[in-house]
Amino acid sequence: MQGATSKTKADFVVKSLPGLDAKAFESLGTMHAGLMPTVQDASTADGTLFFWMLNARSPQKQPKLVFWLNGGPGCSSMDGLMLENGPLIPMKDGTMQLRETGWWLDATVVYVDQPVGTGYSSPGKSGYAHSLAQVADMFYGFVEQYFAVFEDLVGADVYIAGESYAGQYIPYIAHKLLNVPSSAKGVTPKLKIQGLLIGNGWMDPKRQYMSFIPYAVENNLLSGSFLSEAKGYEFQCSTNFDQNTERIKMSHCDAIMNTVLYQSKSMENQNCLNMYDIRLYDEHPEDGCGLLAWPPHVQEMKAYLSRAEVQTAVNVPNTGSNTAWEECDGSVHSALGAVGDPPSYTLFPSLLERVPILLFNGDKDLICNWYGIRDMVDNLQWNGAQGMRDSKKENWYLNNELQGWYQSARNLTFVLKYNASHMMPVDAPEASTDMLNRFIGAVDPVIKAGTLGDVSVPGKEGAEKQVPPASVSIVSSDLPPAPIVTHKPPGGAIVPQRPVTYTVAEVGPVPVAGDFDEIIDTGNSIESGEDSVSYGRGVVFLFLVAASLGLCYFCMFSKTRGRRSAWNFFGNGAKNRQGSTAGHDWMELEATGDEEGTAIDDDELDEMLELEAAGPSSRKRIQ
């Protein structure tokens, strides 16, 4: 194509990896990595995107190609490669170990640092993306350049996958790629885009913000005066949505999450709840509510990717000396922080007319919890109907063990994985791979899987995907049982935790997100434990309560050292370890980054969470 990059496949070959012995390296097959231009005409290229590709270890009769994106915005997809579903595990001594299972086994996976400025990617003179439309345009340019080099993959089944804030990226990118005119130059019109996968995604702010209180109450994370305060913020949040154009981030709504985290800090040892995995609390005051020390190996990844010899190995230009690599880039986050694009869920109806979408969630994630995504689906209209209430939930078994459940209708599938966090592959690598293989129709020599979800578009001939017959047990059930897990509160013994149930009505009058308007209209009271607050009492009263409680909390906690910010859902104002603003996939902006979805604002954490002995940080998570 005109202006295609002059590089060949040989220029992107990874010939060795520091810290990984030759035998282990050879077992991974040929890997490719390097920088690709972000425009179709490479002669005008300025910005570049870094990619790292692993070829499928068990090639399929019909090749499968997955592009993986982490979130932030501004958080590196090396999270996926080294912390989640890729084969590499960085260790404290600078060496690498290998995972036994992951997405690369049966599909070729391309981990892409995007938008420009993320990870090893460079914005060049053109600068950063300031809208999701620009993000999609840049990825389109990257795809054109990528397939100009890897022409043999043009005929593969293509899937776009990711998590957290990638719940915004993926629909916008898919919409762009699916709507390139067939007459356009290049290879994109020829691509066989077969599906989208979004894990613990941030897609529908209105319903996801409204899910924080029901989820927190159901999981015993919010009660008493903290619950009262959170309800006041929820009222403000809902009013803000009613009076303003819907946006991806609404600053008035962040205080709801802040209050949940603040309650956890009020416990005996003042260690914060991990917002990505409610089974965990910070081990140290500076861990940042899960931002800095979770998931395992995140700090080792940063150290590894900062080495000049590693950059040379993956074909990234360097000065020959070590340069600090950031998991989440603050400038990328800032450029997209005030984005005015409509939330990505608005694109779902048109996308679902063309391709199947799989939404998967770990049930222990607070920040992008499954209640909010369930409510998004229930309120969504696509392919001639609303939601999937009439479709049955199916139990998901692997190796005769219950993994969770899924529900499908008209090209959309929702999967809930039991006992999994914001980063489901971290907790369940084999189940995560099984889920992928079922969705894409891959055949694995070890993991024998069948279908998972409805992947046919009603009324379109030949649209139904052919997949291997199921060889694991799939049992129908209207209400699959949730396994009982244990929960260790700060400073306390391990005690049984009430398992998450799947109909909130069974556990009392706490409303699910979406019932909020009805509560306002009727003036009914919402009760939980010792607390009972009526929404009908009016905005003024709630504002006064919130202000008073806030003053009390400030006085209570100002005694201790520096105060750490609340969680700035998308990392606005977060500072990275060098002091620049940062954002991340869930919250991967702070110090270690935002894990792809939300970000925690350092200044807000200073004011509300007051984490002890907090060091400089650039990582935030929301993945």
**Which amino acid belongs to residue 401?**
E
For the record, the structure tokens of 545 come out as 């309560």
Asked if 567 contacts 422 with a C-beta cutoff of 8 angstroms, the reply is no
Whether omega for the bond prior to residue 181 falls within 30 degrees of 0, making it cis, is: no
Catalytic residue among 32, 422, 487, 584: 422
How distant is the alpha carbon of residue 107 from its chain centre?
20
Beta bridge partners of 67: 110, 160
Catalytic residue among 365, 427, 434, 602: 365
**What pairing do the DSSP bridges indicate for beta strands 393-398 and 401-409?**
antiparallel
DSSP string, 418-431: TT--SSHHHH-HHH
Residues whose CB is less than 8 angstroms from the CB of residue 23 and which lie 6 or more positions away in sequence, other chains included: none
For the record, the structure tokens of 432 come out as 């995560």
Catalytic residue check, 46: no
- Number of Cβ within 10 Å of residue 478's Cβ equals 8
- Number of Cβ within 10 Å of residue 2's Cβ equals 9
* DSSP run (H or E) holding 90: strand 88-90
Which backbone phi and psi does 385 adopt, to 5 degrees? Answer: -155, 170
In sequence order, what E strands does 505-619 have? 525-528, 531-534, 564-565, 574-575, 581-582, 586-588
- SS3 for 579-601, per residue? CCEECECEEECCCCCECCCCECC
295/89 Cα distance (integer angstroms): 12
Catalytic residue among 76, 164, 617, 618: 164
Catalytic residue check, 238: no
343/365 Cα distance (integer angstroms): 21
334/126 Cα distance (integer angstroms): 16
* DSSP run (H or E) holding 408: strand 401-409
Catalytic residue check, 164: yes
DSSP string, 274-324: -TT-TT-B-SSGGGTTTTTT-STTHHHHHHHHT-HHHHHHTT----SS---
Residue with tokens 């003053």: 551
Which backbone phi and psi does 439 adopt, to 5 degrees? Answer: -70, -40
601/565 Cα distance (integer angstroms): 6
**Which active-site residues does the annotation give?**
164, 365, 422
